[in-house]
A and B are shown apart, each in its own frame.
Chain A
Amino acid sequence: MGHQFGVPFHKELQKDVIRACLELLPMTSGTRIERPFPKTWAAARREGKVIEQMLHDES
């Protein structure tokens, strides 16, 4: 909860989530479609920590 679009400052991941949703639209033929997102939460968090560290180092 509270992280539907990924982790803080991970812009590409946040956009990937939105794109993944939008890509489903042309497929809609029924009430719902499920598709696993091709990245684990653990990997997202790891990447987010690296990004935050980089931002911290730059500031």
Chain B
Amino acid sequence: METSESNQPSDETRDNSEIPSSSEKQLRPGLWDVVNERYPGSMIHNDDFVSMATLDKPLGECRLGFVSTSGVQSIGSMPFDVVHPVGDYTFRRVPSDTPADQLEIHQLKYPTDGANRDVNVVYPIERLREIAAAGVVGELTGNLYSFIGYNMDPRHLERTLAEDIADAFEEEQADVVLAAPA
């Protein structure tokens, strides 16, 4: 039964913006300490969080973008360099109307058996189109984006690749961007 509290986050929906600062640094406090110890310099701590922007229009009127670390790209585009020792800091534009069978995956760091049969499990381009067609969102950006998650210089990633993709979405006039790991 609906109650006046139904619009408030439930116990299962936790807004962590007010959790203590010591544990606010990461979702799993201590995880990156372990990673940094094993792979020095491969991870960074971000103390300068940028709060999520507030949605200023109904979702049904928003232009939705999508970016993934899956290494999915259009057949015929320059393949990601999946064997470079420090990674590939480039991204690919995938026109949002690209047929799923015109996509391929260049990424070695996650199991692709499922994605090779149905790319939507990592890059749900068909599902995004269906969701837009159903009016859940207004429309998709003209291009969706992809890069590979294996990048061993996170500061380089943050200052170049992430900035480049953010600029690209700004040019696409995206209102909302869904970012997914692979």
Q: Which A residues contact B (CB, under 8 angstroms)?
A: 1-9, 11, 14-15, 17-19, 21-22, 24-36
Contact = CB atoms under 8 A, between A and B. Distances in A.
Contacts of A8: 114-115, 117-118, 120-121
Contact of B12 (A7, A18, A19, A35): A35
B102 interface: no
B122 to A, nearest CB: 6
Interface of B: 9, 12-18, 24, 27, 49-55, 59, 64, 110-115, 117-118, 120-122, 124, 126-128, 130-131, 136-137, 176, 178, 180-182
Contacts of B180: 4-5
Contacts of A2: 110-115, 121-122, 182
Contacts, number: 113
Given A3-B114, A5-B120, A27 B9 contact: yes
B182 A30 contact: no
Contacts of B54: 28-29
Contacts of B124: 5, 14-15, 17-18
